[in-house]
Structure 1
Amino acid sequence: MTNHNHYTLYVLQAVELVKQQIETDPFKHRMCKELLELITPVNRKILEKAFKELYGYRIKAYQVKQRLAFSKNYLQEGMPVKRVAAKCYYRSQSAYCTAFKKEFGLTPTEWIRIIIQRTPPMLN
């Protein structure tokens, strides 16, 4: 396990705040830079390094992972894949589908089919 004692409490708190902001609303800030500028004055390089040491991902990669995870909710609600891709800030549906498959092992369409099969019909 890595020793994180070389980071100040201030840096560690900033890392937690960034993580919390991303988990609460990964769509709020399109660019990672915007997020960091708004919530913490900590040096970006130090923040990135600490975040990666603590969570195993760069901040942007973590933000993308959270967006993809949240995007499942939109798909489950019936939002078209093209619209979900745009909401997740992908330039194309194809790019979104590629990222989704890389993250979850299925395309969004395949994932939707599985969810539909698992969802019990609604009773009237």
Structure 2
Amino acid sequence: MGRKKLSMRLIENPTSRQLTYNKRKEGIIKKAGELAVLCDTDVALIMFAPSGRLASFASNGRTEDILLRFVDRPDELRGGPINHQEFLSQKLKQLKYEGEMLEKIAVYYAPNVEKINSALEAGVYQQFLTTAIQRIQTSKI
């Protein structure tokens, strides 16, 4: 049985649009991973869902690392200049740093937010996170 041919236009029903996005997102991430393995390439993929939620994929390391390599290339190898290149580069470095911090915090901290029953308990978790962030920042220096 063959597939139904879809016309390339916006899917009007928001539920169907989100469902189609979810299915196709998984497919494109799988294809990006296959391309990276078969051709020994670095692939970075960034998508925003109709709801605005971010989905990203990096075949090697972090998405930020691959995008920084792109930004750092000379204009003629990149296909032309980038508007606000310095700002973009700075933001990518900041995102990379924040991602590394989150990974380190996750090693120490895995709360079950459903079990927080009071503002006092939430304050304890907040203090733990603040201390963890400070430890990570001092280890970076």
- TM-score > 0.5 by shorter chain: no
Greater gyration radius: 2
The structure richer in strand per residue is: 2
The structure richer in helix per residue is: 1
TM-score under structure 2 length normalisation: 0.26
